Amino acid sequence: MADRDGWRVNACASNAAPCEYCLARDGQAEVASPDGKVDPRLLSHLYLCLGLSTYRIAARTRIDRQRVTRALHRAGVPLRPRGAGRLRPVRDPDDRRCPPWLLRELYEGARLNSRQIAAILGIPERTVRDRLHRAGVSVRSRGGWNREDRVTVPAQVLRVLYVELGMTAAEVGQRLGLSGGTVLRSAHALGVPVRSGGAAPLSGPEEIELISALYADPLISGVLTAHNIARVPAGGSLSQRFRAPLPLTTPLVKDLYWECGAALNHIELLTGQAAGTVRKFMQHAGIPLRSAGGRSPFMRRWRSGPGGSPAERPPGQPPPRPSHEDSHAERAARSKKEMRNDDIG
């Protein structure tokens, strides 16, 4: 049964059996009699069976809304909390269109995102994400903090185009329709040696396996040991190396960023947290960023070899605080430039 708006009607009153108004086939008057009286059973039928609000019942029966409320109270009808609204239609009660097993297979097995699943099943994207949460499926991150849906260039493609043919990261990206930063990020994560860039030739090694170099650095190794951080070798994307990212703490990030001179993308490779997440954490924790430009202290230390200077400032000197005179635009530009520099270390 449905009311005039097409809303689904369940059994009335105690949900035990339909009322006489539900069973009536010839219809019964739904307006008050000339003397102003109205059958309480009709009001119960409209409120419980059809799920109408007291306002709509008043308009339908042409009596005052407060009279409707008083009559329902006298009839012993439990009223819904104010603001709860009328009963909503029952849509796909058994999840026939998107059962949990199908959602899990599309989302985790086929690695489709919620928008793609919504287009396939013909339901809103928000419904997909709600049902994923209800099914206990861990939802992947989106946007700039994305870990799971990142584009990763296959290792074999990188070895052919970047290593064997000697193409630059920008040329590989142009061939594949990706950015040079995505190519370099994939190479670092997969353990493919990356050549030293820059217009001017630099002293030191000509290529780097970044993850191995990070773990081999004495300062970084000491910090990881002090914080009980496990070493995860290269060979997969960020979400493959870290099924769950390591929790960030202020001492850990401070030690890696300021004491060890690691860049944001280096902390990403060490913890599994996206570089954007690390930067946001530092902003909330009050940890200042280094001035934009140039390579990170870790990269300069790595290029100089074992005898290089381990730090950019005297030991014990606290990191500089950001100037309060900097405008918001200057801080945002500095952060963006720092992120670009992090792509190359």
Helix, strand, coil shares of the chain, percent, nearest 5, are 50, 0, 50
User: Rounded CA gap, 69 and 58, in Å?
Assistant: 9
Domain chopping of the chain, boundaries:
1-90, 100-139, 207-342
Strand partners, 207: 195
Tokens 């990206």 locate to: 173
User: Rounded CA gap, 163 and 156, in Å?
Assistant: 10
Backbone angles phi, psi at 73, to 5 degrees: -60, -45
pLDDT tens sequence for the chain (345 residues): 344 434 333 434 344 456 777 766 444 556 666 666 778 888 888 888 777 888 888 888 888 889 889 888 888 888 877 766 555 554 555 555 678 888 889 988 888 888 889 899 888 888 888 888 888 888 777 666 677 778 889 999 999 999 999 999 999 999 999 999 999 999 999 999 999 765 555 566 788 999 999 999 999 999 999 999 999 999 888 888 998 889 999 999 999 999 999 999 999 999 999 898 999 999 999 999 998 878 899 999 998 876 444 444 444 444 544 444 344 455 455 555 554 444 445
CB 195 within 8 Å of CB 169: no
Q: How far is CA 43 from CA 5, 28, 163, in A?
A: 18, 12, 79
User: Rounded CA gap, 162 and 279, in Å?
Assistant: 30
User: Rounded CA gap, 204 and 300, in Å?
Assistant: 10
